[in-house]
Structure 1
Amino acid sequence: MYLPLYKAVDKGDLEATMEFLIEHPDGLTASISADGDTALHVAVLAGHREIVVELVDRLEPDDLKIRNRNNATALNYAAIGGITRIAEDLVAKNGGLLKVANQNGQIPVVVASLYGHKGMVRYLYSVSPKEELSPATNNKNGVMLLTTCIMDELYDIALDLLQHYPQLAFYQDSDKDTALDMLAQKPSAFPSGTQLAWWQQWIYNGIRVPHPLASSHSHGDIERPNKGPTDRRNIVKRASDQLLVMAWKGLKIFVPAIKKMYNLKLIHGQALAVLCCLCEQISTLHRSEFKEIGVYKAVFNAVKHGIVEFIVEIVRHYPDVIWFEDDLNRGIFLYATLQRQEKIFSLLYKMGAKKNSMATPWDKYHNNILHQAAFLAPSSQLDRVSGAALQMQRELQWYKEVESIVQPKYREMVNFNHRTPQALFTEQHRKLVEEGEKWMKDTSESCTVVAALISTIMFSAIFTVPGGYDQFSGIPIYLHGNSFMVFMVSDAMSLFASTSSLLMFLGILTSRYREEDFLKSLPTKMIVGLSCLFFSIATMMITFGITLFMMLRDRFPWISFPIILLASLPVTLFALLQFPLLVEIFFSTYGPGIFDRPKKWSSFEQS
């Protein structure tokens, strides 16, 4: 009987829907689908707001609470669909819908957060009764909203929720996850997990954003700071900070790059504020309660993802965290070494005398910290480095770094499989050495062909100079011209550079490819070879360009400009394709390194 109504509503045909309801008024609240949906359910799920508005006007407030067979109201469906205007229409008619849970016991704001509708979450959170999110209600709505907001990067809402109900830090959601564990799986929420270009980093460092903790009880508006106590000594500084914040807010409106960095830094500040709130609550517990609420799991998840801010903050609130061990008896620094998280490993250098103690334990299988460095790195970490040869270099850098801090006897210690760290390293990296050798040889062979061609061309060019030779003296006709000297010098430099490049690549092809060669020897040869090859191509194009200029300048005086443009094209292409690799090899071999060794000892535990 109600099939025509269902079709009309689902298609968004307002006229047909109204005609049917005039003829059949009972269809307004009747079940019109197999799931027990009313016309309002269907209109909301289909996203037809015009029909929703008409239906809401005709329905009584209590009729909006009608549930289908899945125990869902129309507002639950609106939360799933994510159309905020529809939710506003429903709530305006009956605010009680905000407290009606679905079959899983989840109120609409939690449903919206599960589906990742950020705009819907912000609206529903601003109008939902906060007592429905209290842990005292014996439901999981509060902690579910907290964990899902962290996953959806709605840290301002998560922070406000924690400020209302700090006890939510101790609770687990329906998936047995805590807010701390969710945050430990979000490296993008912190500066250490965000990769920025140099210019983006420069903007990021200069931007000023509102302090997140200043928005206490702001119901989701993290950028609206409250007025704090006036301190005459700091009032000038606070005023200048506020002016800077306002200036950056204005700039972000007109400059998209600044807006992106502003929002990123704001998110980082909010996430750190959430972390501070969580750590403050957890520090009030006894260590025996940590495992039950997942603190150990969260700490090692943070280590796995390299979130150094997480480790620093939790250690500041509970210093004994540095002695935590996982199920295999691995401490956080052993695990950081295994996961190749250099930023967390570098915290060892800031621990003073504790450093030696932290580097001495071993795990359940008698693998010490040098054994951990001998294992092959996770693929996610290897993929951060381009090329198998550079990946092998990074692995050697890790091994040498760890080797420099362990006791001498640890270098010969055997694990349960009777492997020393060096033997384990060789066994684990055998395939990577083979792949690195192949990568080096393939690259060198390709570059050798190019270098050999350039050498041949430049060698023959010196005997076929532009303008020819004087038939009596045998001296080049243009010998005394400045352009001819440019030709001779650029030709000679291209020949010498290409020959040097050829020799370097031949040296790579004939190398023994020992493990140690990937640390300095092979990368250095590749740096010299690529640099010389790039220089030889540039000077070759100068030679070609000056030759054309000398031959055509009398007839076409304007010819120099297009020649320069054309000659620079292949040089630019080569630079775009190969120069980034050259820079990466150079910084990987002779750069400051990935480990942070402070000149002055300072404990990262102090605030």
Structure 2
Amino acid sequence: MFLSLLLCFMLFFEFVLDVHTIFTIITTPAKKQTHSSRILFLAAETGNTKFVVELIRRYPDLIWKVNDDKLSIFHIAVKHRHEGIYNLLYEIGSMKDLITPLKDEKQNNMLHFVGKQAKRKRLEDVSGVALQMQRELLWFKEVEGMIPSSYKERKNEDGLTPEELFTKEHKQLVTEGEKWMKDTASQCMVVAALIATIVFAAAFTVPGGYNQDNGVPIFRSKATFMVFVVADAISLFASSASILMFLSILTSRYAQRDFLESLPKKLMLGLATLFLSIVTMTVAFSVSFFVLYHKGQIWMPILIGAIAVMPVLLYVVLQFGLFFDVIRSTYISRYLFKPKKQVLYYKNPKF
């Protein structure tokens, strides 16, 4: 009985000592920090993830350190949008529940720092103002799920919740994103409308013309003619769909949350259908020469078909960057957080 009481007392004493140690580390002023901790915060600010990882491996207690503003390295990472350092939160287990609630002297919690717009240099890593706004929303959504739910509505000294601060700080970015999205959609819609007009007219002026007796196309039995008809129809439908997509972008309400998925997906589908309409229009144009010159002058449709590839290649060269950026920002960026590979602690450490 006595031994059991003694064991319980020792465990309780050890628990109190651990809590006191953690509290002391967290509340230690930056002036008393070691040289390694000052380097740690500098590395966190610049986004040097590898250096931060190596430093924490050597000095594990540094993970609890705070700077002059009472911010941890994870708050610094959120403030400067360094996802590599932020993702270390997923590797420290329940310890993150003691770090994420930390606030600075102005009562700003971690979500408030997402509410403040990132520096222009970090935003420029993402092409397109609308996609920059999308990245900011991804950060807000991620940190919102990381901090305690009660902190989502906490106000800072200015009386602003994180969401209110986010709306205030990103008002200009939303305006610029709306202008960028509308300009892009307007220019692409002009091209789509032009393609729709051309292929619609081509559907009624088929190669070889019509039989005057029954009104049936003369070359309807040829395989190349059927390819022409199908390609022309696909081009018409694709360009029409592209017009509708870009029109929906122009008439969108442009709410803040629309930049997260709705607008980028519409732009992506619009660009994809526009590309499909260009390709099929080119195919229809090239095949029409095979229908007309299938005998004797086969070199002519082959040459024209080869030259007709140029518009498709130009579109790929000029617009593929934008299309890929939209896909990367909408889908691949979701994997910025919650990495599958651990970098801070090894599952099977080697000694």
Name 1:439's counterpart in structure 2: 180
Q: TM-score, normalised by structure 2?
A: 0.87
- CA gap of 1:358–1:605, structure 2 versus 1, over 3 A, is farther
- 1:351 is aligned to 2:92: yes
Structure 1 distance, partners of 2:273, 2:139, is: 30
CA contact (8 A) 2:30 2:66 kept: no
Identity within the alignment, %: 45
Structure 2 distance, partners of 1:414, 1:382, is: 26
Deviations 1:480-502 (A, max 9, x none): 10010010000000000000000
Deviates more, 1:453-462 or 1:592-601: 592-601
Give the alignment partner of residue 136 of structure 2, picking from 395, 409, 425.
395
- CA gap of 1:586–1:289, structure 2 versus 1, over 3 A, is closer
- Which amino acid counterpart does residue 156 of structure 2 have in structure 1? N
Give the alignment partner of residue 71 of structure 2, picking from 327, 330, 348.
330
* Aligned-residue offset at 1:565: 1.7
Give the alignment partner of residue 313 of structure 2, picking from 572, 577, 586.
572
- CA gap of 1:487–1:289, structure 2 versus 1, over 3 A, is closer
* Aligned-residue offset at 1:294: 4.1
Deviations 1:208-261 (A, max 9, x none): xxxxxxxxxxxxxxxxxxxxxxxxxxxxxxxxxxxxxxxxxxxxxxxxxxxxxx
CA contact (8 A) 2:29 2:66 kept: no
- 1:423 is aligned to 2:160: no
Name 1:460's counterpart in structure 2: 201
Name 2:266's counterpart in structure 1: 525
SS of the aligned residue for 1:376 comes to: coil
* Count of residue correspondences: 321
- CA gap of 1:458–1:530, structure 2 versus 1, over 3 A, is same
Q: TM-score, normalised by structure 1?
A: 0.51
CA contact (8 A) 2:195 2:236 kept: yes
SS of the aligned residue for 2:146 comes to: coil
Structure 2: where are the runs of 5+ without partners? 1-27
Structure 1 distance, partners of 2:123, 2:339, is: 26
SS of the aligned residue for 1:587 comes to: helix
- 1:368 is aligned to 2:109: yes
Deviations 1:499-551 (A, max 9, x none): 00000000000000001000000001001000000000000111111112222
* Aligned-residue offset at 1:292: 7.6
* Aligned-residue offset at 1:554: 2.4
CA contact (8 A) 1:462 1:488 kept: yes
Structure 1 distance, partners of 2:38, 2:343, is: 27
- CA gap of 1:340–1:454, structure 2 versus 1, over 3 A, is same
Structure 1: where are the runs of 5+ without partners? 1-286
Structure 2 distance, partners of 1:414, 1:597, is: 27
- Which amino acid counterpart does residue 558 of structure 1 have in structure 2? W
Name 1:83's counterpart in structure 2: none
Name 1:75's counterpart in structure 2: none
* Aligned-residue offset at 1:407: 1.0
Give the alignment partner of residue 323 of structure 2, picking from 582, 590, 594.
582
- CA gap of 1:519–1:546, structure 2 versus 1, over 3 A, is same
- Which amino acid counterpart does residue 208 of structure 2 have in structure 1? G
- CA gap of 1:540–1:471, structure 2 versus 1, over 3 A, is same
* Aligned-residue offset at 1:357: 1.4
* Aligned-residue offset at 1:602: 8.6
* Aligned-residue offset at 1:594: 4.5
CA contact (8 A) 1:290 1:296 kept: no
- 1:500 is aligned to 2:235: no
Structure 1 distance, partners of 2:30, 2:95, is: 25
- CA gap of 1:537–1:595, structure 2 versus 1, over 3 A, is same
* Aligned-residue offset at 1:378: 1.2
- Which amino acid counterpart does residue 299 of structure 1 have in structure 2? L
* Aligned-residue offset at 1:290: 8.6
Structure with max Cα Rg: 1
CA contact (8 A) 1:549 1:563 kept: no
Deviations 1:75-100 (A, max 9, x none): xxxxxxxxxxxxxxxxxxxxxxxxxx
Structure 1 distance, partners of 2:346, 2:294, is: 72
RMSD: 2.1
Structure 1 distance, partners of 2:33, 2:216, is: 91
Structure 2 distance, partners of 1:514, 1:383, is: 22
Structure 1 distance, partners of 2:55, 2:346, is: 9
Structure 2 distance, partners of 1:414, 1:478, is: 74
- CA gap of 1:306–1:578, structure 2 versus 1, over 3 A, is same
- CA gap of 1:563–1:420, structure 2 versus 1, over 3 A, is same
CA contact (8 A) 1:468 1:477 kept: yes
SS of the aligned residue for 2:315 comes to: helix
Name 1:537's counterpart in structure 2: 278
- Which amino acid counterpart does residue 137 of structure 2 have in structure 1? L
- CA gap of 1:400–1:596, structure 2 versus 1, over 3 A, is closer
- For CA contacts below 8 A with separation 6 or more, give which structure has more relative contact order: 2
- 1:474 is aligned to 2:215: yes
Name 1:189's counterpart in structure 2: none
Name 1:383's counterpart in structure 2: 124
CA contact (8 A) 2:133 2:259 kept: yes
- CA gap of 1:352–1:457, structure 2 versus 1, over 3 A, is same
Name 1:256's counterpart in structure 2: none
Structure 1 distance, partners of 2:130, 2:339, is: 29
Name 1:135's counterpart in structure 2: none
SS of the aligned residue for 1:593 comes to: helix
* Aligned-residue offset at 1:555: 3.8
Structure 2 distance, partners of 1:378, 1:459, is: 48
Structure 2 distance, partners of 1:307, 1:290, is: 23
* Aligned-residue offset at 1:597: 1.5
CA contact (8 A) 1:469 1:476 kept: yes
Alignment of 1:192-341 (within 5 A): 294-341=35-82
- Which amino acid counterpart does residue 348 of structure 1 have in structure 2? L
* Aligned-residue offset at 1:559: 2.2
